Amino acid sequence: MTATSSFAGRAMGSPLRLQVTGVPVEGTARPESLWQEAVDEFAAVDAALSCYRPDSDLSRLNGTAGSGMWRPASRRLYAFLATAERARRVTKGQFDPRVLPDLARLGHPGLVVPMASASRAGTPRREEVGWLDREPRTRSVRIRSAADSGGLGKGLALRWAGRHVAARLAGRGALLEAGGDITGWGRAPDGQPWQIGIEDPGGATDPLAVISLSNGAVCTSSIARQRWIAPDGRAVHHLVDPRTGEPGGEGLQAVTVGSDDPAWAEVWSKALFLEGPQRIGEVARRLGLAAWWIEADGTLRMTPAARQRTTWTR
């Protein structure tokens, strides 16, 4: 077994963990330094993209939604907006950051939503050309609708923090996890690829499956935890269908996607969740995605690409 250093804390409302295998050689970063860089990056992303902080860059920008006002954007905010818009186009609207007012209408606790945006919640979602305007030379932006950073913000934090870690591993292995979303490199302490469990939403201790991860990411969209009672008395969850403004994916409990990049794993896990149990398999296979999904009765299903990466199932 290889020596392992482990660290744990909290960031962006989720547990944050880092494991580093191997002993640093001369001129490479110590594990404590890698952990601090990851913590610092998550703190910077929270300050830029949190929808729970009125002082975040995104909340301040959301306050100008629909005003026609241009604002300078921080590097992280600009990258988030560009990625969110690209994801909206690539997924044909299944992923859409403009669900923030709908989440507020449904009673999601703690969100910072401008009053003007909240008043438009529940209106039919239309294909808006130019909901986001960007000026790359000055990194200025203006928006017509408030945006939710959601899982994409955490995926970007994993991407950026992961780059800090990966650049300084010097042949060692590492696993960085934020609330069940994971990115990893190299080998686990036993010298084999990292083994990642797919959690049973029903609460069982043993995972439903174990998958192999060497270099890449695994992210999950699940309704196991972010559920609450809406003001009208309904049980709702945070995975909102942009087409209806209502929670979607009925018949599914969780979707996990493996990808080279944690931000895109986040995007596809939500987009596939909203396809529901009838269409998710067809869509995921057509896209060539490694996807695992858990239906309402607890049945685990997966694509052929996912099966190639699965080392154990219950």
37 and 123 together in one domain: no
pLDDT score for 25: 75
Burial class (CB in 10 A: 0-12, 13-18, 19+), 203: exposed
For residue 122, what pLDDT band results from cuts at 50, 70 and 90? low
214 and 268 together in one domain: yes
76 and 130 together in one domain: yes
214 and 172 together in one domain: no
19 and 100 together in one domain: no
Domain count, the chain: 3
For residue 180, what pLDDT band results from cuts at 50, 70 and 90? confident
**How far apart are the C-alpha atoms of 199 and 220, rounded to whole Å?**
10
Condensed to tens digits (0 to 9), the pLDDT of residues 45-99 reads: 999 999 999 999 999 999 999 999 999 999 999 999 999 999 999 999 999 999 9
For residue 200, what pLDDT band results from cuts at 50, 70 and 90? very high
For residue 133, what pLDDT band results from cuts at 50, 70 and 90? very high
Condensed to tens digits (0 to 9), the pLDDT of residues 222-242 reads: 999 899 999 999 999 999 999
DSSP string, 47-105: HHH-SS-TTSHHHHHHTTTTTT--EE--HHHHHHHHHHHHHHHHTTTSS-GGGHHHHHH
pLDDT score for 171: 87
- Mean pLDDT over the full length of the chain: 94
247 and 107 together in one domain: no
- Provide the domain limits for residue 161: 1-50+150-186
For residue 39, what is the domain's CATH number? 3.10.520.10
84 and 157 together in one domain: no
pTM: 0.94
